[in-house]
A and B are shown apart, each in its own frame.
Chain A
Amino acid sequence: MGDFVSNLSLGFSVALTLQNVGLAFLGCLVGTLIGVLPGVGPIATIAMLLPITFGLDPTGALIMLAGIYYGAQYGGSTTAILVNIPGEATSVVTALDGHQMARQGRAGVALGMAAIGSFFAGTVATLVIAALGVPLTGLALIFGPTEYFSLMVMGLVFAVVLARGSILKAIAMILVGVLLSTVGLDLETGEERMTFGLPILADGIDFAVLAMGIFGIAEIMRNLDHTETRDVVRQAIGRLLPNRQDFKQSYRPVLRGTLIGAVLGILPGNGAVLGPFAAYTLEKKLAKDPSRFGRGAIEGVAGPESANNAGAQTSFIPLLTLGIPPNAVMALMVGAMTIHGIIPGPQVMTKNPTLFWGMIASMWVGNLMLLIINLPLVGMWVRLLKVPYRLLFPAILMFCCIGIYSINSLPANVMFIAFFGLVGYMLIKFGFEPAPMLLGFVLGKLMEENLRRALIISRGDMTTFLTHPISAGLLVVAAVVLVIALLPSIRKGRDEVFTE
Chain B
Amino acid sequence: MKKIALALAAVAGLAATGAQAQDYPNRPITMIVPFAAGGPTDVVARIVTDHMSRTLGQQIVIENVAGAGGTTGITRGAQAQPDGYTIMMGHMGTHGAAPALYPNLKYDPTKDFAPIGLAAGTPILIVAKKDFPAKDLKEFVAYMKSNASKVNQAHAGVGSVSHSTGILFDSIISAKPTLVAYRGTGPALNDLMSGTVDFMTDQIVNVAPQIQGGNIKAYAIATPERSPALPDVPTTKEAGLGDYQVSAWNAVFAPKGTPPDIVKKLNDALVKSLDDENTKKRLLELGGVLPSAAERTPEGLQKLVESEVARWTPVLKAAGASAE
Contact = CB atoms under 8 A, between A and B. Distances in A.
Interface of A: 46-47, 50-51, 54, 140-142, 144-145, 185, 187-192, 199, 202-203, 268-269, 318, 322-326, 328, 330-336, 338-339, 341, 343-347, 408-410, 449, 453, 456-457, 459
Interface string B90-103: 00000000000100
A347 B213 contact: yes
A408 B32 CA distance: 11
A47 B64 contact: yes
B323 interface: yes
Interface string B186-214: 11011101101100000001001110110
Given A185-B158, A341-B285, A456-B180, A192 B36 contact: no
B63 interface: yes
Contacts of B213: 323, 345-347
Shortest Cβ-Cβ A-B pairs, 9 listed: A345-B209, A335-B38, A190-B158, A346-B213, A47-B37, A332-B38, A141-B194, A144-B196, A190-B323
A144 B37 CA distance: 27
A140 B189 CA distance: 12
A83 B67 CA distance: 30
A145 B158 contact: no
Interface string B208-229: 1110110100000000000000
Interface of B: 36-39, 42-43, 46-47, 50, 62-68, 72, 101, 104, 152, 157-159, 178-184, 186-187, 189-191, 193-194, 196-197, 205, 208-210, 212-213, 215, 282, 285-286, 321-324
B208 A268 contact: no
B186 A188 contact: no
A343 B205 CA distance: 8
Contacts of A409: 63-65
A322 to B, nearest CB: 7
A335 B66 CA distance: 15
Contact of A346 (B43, B67, B196, B209): B209
Contacts of B67: 202-203, 408, 410
A469 B314 CA distance: 44
A46 B38 CA distance: 10
Contacts of A268: 186-187, 190
11 contacts: A140-B190, A141-B190, A145-B196, A187-B181, A188-B181, A202-B323, A331-B39, A332-B38, A335-B42, A341-B282, A410-B65
Contacts of B215: 322, 346
A453 B181 contact: yes
Contacts of B37: 46-47, 50, 332, 335
Interface centre among B62, B179, B186, B282 (most CB of A within 10 A): B186
A190 B286 contact: no
B180 A453 contact: yes
Contacts of A332: 36-38
Nearest to A350: B213
Contact of B194 (A144, A191, A199, A334): A144
B178 A344 contact: no
Given A190-B324, A338-B43, A141 B193 contact: yes
Nearest to B41: A335
B125 to A, nearest CB: 14
A346 B210 contact: yes
Contacts of A191: 322, 324
Contacts of B47: 339
Given A335-B37, A453-B180, A324 B186 contact: yes
Nearest to B208: A343
A454 B171 CA distance: 25
Contact of A142 (B68, B187, B194, B322): B194
A190 B38 contact: no
A192 B181 contact: no
B180 A190 contact: no
Contact of A192 (B39, B187, B324): B324
A408 B65 contact: yes
Given A190-B159, A331-B36, 5 more contacts: A51-B62, A141-B190, A335-B38, A345-B208, A408-B65
